[in-house]
Amino acid sequence: MRIIDSPTCTLSHVVAEIGVVISQDIGDRGPCFEHSFEVMFVYGVSGGSFRERTSRELLCDAVALSAKIAVWEAQRVAVVAEVERRCTREDHGFASTKGWLSSVTVVSPGAAGRIVELGAGLAEHPAVAEAFDEGRIAFEHALLIVRFCTKPPKGMPAEALPGCVAALLAAADGPLARTDGVRTAIAKLEAIFESDDQPASEDTDRNELYVSKTLNGRVAIRGDVDAVTGEMLLTALSKYSAPQPASEGTPDARPPRQRRADGLAQLLSMLLAFGELGVEGGERPHLSVHVHARDLCQDRREEYARRTRPADNTDAHPADPADLAEVRGIAWSPWMGPLTVNTARLLGCDANVTAIVLDEHGAPLSVGRTHRTVTRAQRTALAARDGGCAFPGCGATAAWCEGHHIRHWADGGPTDLDNLVLLCGTHHRLLHTTDWEVTIGKTRHPVFTPPASVDPAREPIRKPIPGRSRSEGSPAAA
């Protein structure tokens, strides 16, 4: 429930409410920020020192606190939305709600702007507001859905919006939902209602790159490029920005931003010295785009119209957008995610095309059993099936992953797709050193079973694959 419901609520109530949003949920009614946070931390360890908690209790505390924080975040968005609706410069002394919030709290101006934007959008879309208020969808995913609703595809009729919202909420629901999955669902809806307009993500006229010398003798780089250029950049950087553990196994201590900067320096050095890049994952860096052959060869608009228009009704609306399982019409790049098929066709005019035969579940068919190590063709097929590290919750791209034998080669396991899974180094070691198990499910996709120490019920889980439907990613579908 939204916490500002009374039309007689005064400004002082609205502002004070921000100070007690957290404390209200755990029994304290005081408006003091400091005291609220103290109570929150005490609650997080159930009244005792966290050092006295068992590992299992700490895990449960972290999950419970995270769930409550999600609800408190929703309450803050609701309060700020009411401030935006009701308060003026005379009330809080700032030109905007964004400026006020970022000045009286530790929230950055950018984050404050997103809070204000989401609050305004949720007021117009109660189904999204309900899911966000209940903590079922993340802040970022709620904002993506609101932005889609605020500026839908030009070809989408107004009556299709509820079905589209239902589809996006399904893609965003739950702990395993990832931003790439929500973006893919949006891309599929845009493919259904496609127009002649080029998506902003692929518009090269918007590209910008600033390279300037600073007063302290360094160079500042800032840019904004289209998805294809971004894919090329991230692919080229991948080999040189991946974590590099020390020889004795110590993890790479560099943060991602430093690894990327170091990788850029190595990349430029290689290009200037040799004019070419090294090898990663068994092949030279190149631009990869996954696209269904049917979409690559056919005109999407004609094909979709043929599938959705009844013979006796030329004015029929498109099929229910809430069912995205059979919606094609998008391509997929390993780093940047969804691309339009038109862009894939453009890239395909000057490219080597690798054919991968898929079964009815979208899993690549077998490409051989004779090699101990994973072949290049198998890596390509695994990347198409797993979309990177297949472990639930991991976002490692395929270039940073290894092929893992589910049944070890030494135990008679074949180097075949039904005995292989793509894993990053961290989760590859996890499978070899803990009681996590992986199998290939009925749809020929990896299914992971946690040890009893993680989940006493040992419920199987599967990572939703970008570009696939949420229903394909559920344990029941495995």
141 has a pLDDT exceeding 90: yes
Determine which of 15-19, 422-426, 428-432 has the lowest per-residue pLDDT on average: 15-19
Range of the domain at 229: 204-274
- Is residue 136 one of the residues assigned to a domain? yes
User: What does the pLDDT read at residue 468?
Assistant: 45
* CA 136 and chain centroid, separation: 15
Q: Based on the structure, what is the number of domains in the chain?
A: 3
- Is residue 42 one of the residues assigned to a domain? yes
Distance CA(241)–CA(247), nearest Å, equals: 17
Task: Tell me which of 274, 295, 312 is where a domain ends.
Answer: 274
Reported as a pLDDT band with limits 50, 70 and 90, residue 75 is: very high
Reported as a pLDDT band with limits 50, 70 and 90, residue 60 is: confident
- Is residue 281 one of the residues assigned to a domain? no
CA distances from 111 to 86, 101, 231, 310 (A): 20, 10, 26, 47
User: What does the pLDDT read at residue 15?
Assistant: 46
User: What does the pLDDT read at residue 202?
Assistant: 80
Q: What percent of the chain has pLDDT over 70?
A: 67
- Under a CB-based contact definition with an 8 Å cutoff, are residues 119 and 84 in contact? yes
pLDDT digit string, tens, across residues 444-454: 889 999 998 88
- Is residue 428 one of the residues assigned to a domain? yes
- Is residue 229 one of the residues assigned to a domain? yes
Determine which of 203-207, 251-255, 360-364, 432-436 has the lowest per-residue pLDDT on average: 360-364
The DSSP bridge partners found for residue 212 are: 220
The answer to whether residues 156 and 243 belong to one domain is no
In order, the DSSP letters of 22-66 are HHHTTT-----HHHHHHHHHHHHTTTS-GGGS-HHHHHHHHHHHH
The answer to whether residues 113 and 148 belong to one domain is yes
The answer to whether residues 161 and 117 belong to one domain is yes
- Run of H or E residues at 438: strand 437-440
pLDDT digit string, tens, across residues 395-407: 788 877 888 888 8
* CA 60 and chain centroid, separation: 24
- Is residue 36 one of the residues assigned to a domain? yes
151 has a pLDDT exceeding 80: yes
Reported as a pLDDT band with limits 50, 70 and 90, residue 169 is: very high
- Under a CB-based contact definition with an 8 Å cutoff, are residues 339 and 332 in contact? yes
User: What does the pLDDT read at residue 283?
Assistant: 53
The SS3 of residue 211 is strand
Distance CA(118)–CA(132), nearest Å, equals: 10
User: What does the pLDDT read at residue 26?
Assistant: 35
| Mean pLDDT to the nearest integer, 152-164 | 87
The answer to whether residues 112 and 156 belong to one domain is yes
Residues in the chain: 478
| Mean pLDDT to the nearest integer, 454-469 | 73
pLDDT digit string, tens, across residues 362-376: 555 544 444 566 777
Which residue matches tokens 């029929």? 316
What CA dihedral angle connects 163, 167, 168 and 169, to 10 degrees? 100
The answer to whether residues 149 and 261 belong to one domain is no
Distance CA(142)–CA(118), nearest Å, equals: 7
- Under a CB-based contact definition with an 8 Å cutoff, are residues 152 and 138 in contact? no
| Mean pLDDT to the nearest integer, 17-39 | 40
The answer to whether residues 185 and 256 belong to one domain is no
The DSSP bridge partners found for residue 213 are: 219
- Is residue 285 one of the residues assigned to a domain? no
Distance CA(49)–CA(51), nearest Å, equals: 5
Amino acid identity for residue 305 in this structure: A
The answer to whether residues 400 and 380 belong to one domain is yes
pLDDT digit string, tens, across residues 286-343: 666 777 766 666 544 454 455 445 444 444 444 455 555 555 567 777 767 777 777 7
User: What does the pLDDT read at residue 351?
Assistant: 54
The answer to whether residues 18 and 114 belong to one domain is yes
Determine which of 111-125, 281-295, 441-455 has the lowest per-residue pLDDT on average: 281-295
User: What does the pLDDT read at residue 310?
Assistant: 47
Which is more confident, 48 or 208? 208
- Is residue 126 one of the residues assigned to a domain? yes
72 has a pLDDT exceeding 50: yes
The answer to whether residues 135 and 209 belong to one domain is no
* CA 430 and chain centroid, separation: 23
Ranges assigned E (strand) in 208-276: 208-213, 219-224
The answer to whether residues 154 and 270 belong to one domain is no
Would the pTM count as exceeding 0.85?
Answer: no
What is the rounded average pLDDT for all residues in the chain? 75
The CA angle 37-43-45, to the nearest 5 degrees, is: 115
Reported as a pLDDT band with limits 50, 70 and 90, residue 415 is: confident
Distance CA(404)–CA(426), nearest Å, equals: 12
Most confident of the following: 43-47, 80-84, 411-415: 80-84
User: What does the pLDDT read at residue 295?
Assistant: 67
